[in-house]
């Protein structure tokens, strides 16, 4: 199943961040959502701005796309992979909601 290889679980992302892996976190939610809560070090690139701001998203090295539940980040992943040929992008399965539920209970939810 191809989609599984395009996703990263909240637990795996946490493990890789704890290990110091060089991951670029790109949050594709709206600024108000980002201001309310986001993973430390995330770059805010709202979904509608992804085509224009794609050069800010590195083409080498792992990139994890993040949104509320994983739907908008999956759309961003599709664009980056299929339109721009990026093979270094992963979608955070379940988004920040899953992160809060499965990794960090203190993470703000909405």
Catalytic residues: 67
How far apart (Å, rounded) are the C-alpha atoms in residues 102 and 63?
21
DSSP state of 19: T
The closest of 52, 96, 54, 91 to 75, measured between CA atoms, is 91
The angle at the Cα of 61, spanning 8 to 31, to the nearest 5 degrees, equals 65
Over the range 75-90, which residues count as b (16 or more CB within 10 Å of their CB) and which as e? Answer: bbbebbeeeeebeebb
């Amino acid at each position: 199943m191809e989609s599984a290889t395009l996703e990263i679980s909240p637990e795996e992302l946490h493990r890789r961040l704890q290990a110091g892996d060089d991951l670029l976190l790109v949050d594709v939610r709206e600024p108000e959502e980002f201001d309310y809560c986001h993973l430390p070090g995330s770059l805010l690139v709202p979904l509608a701005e992804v085509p224009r701001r794609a050069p800010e998203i590195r083409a080498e090295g792992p990139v994890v796309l993040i949104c509320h539940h994983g739907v908008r980040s999956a759309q961003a992943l599709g664009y980056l992979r299929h339109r721009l040929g990026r093979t270094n992008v992963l979608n955070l399965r379940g988004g920040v909601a899953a992160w809060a539920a499965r990794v960090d209970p203190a993470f703000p939810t909405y």
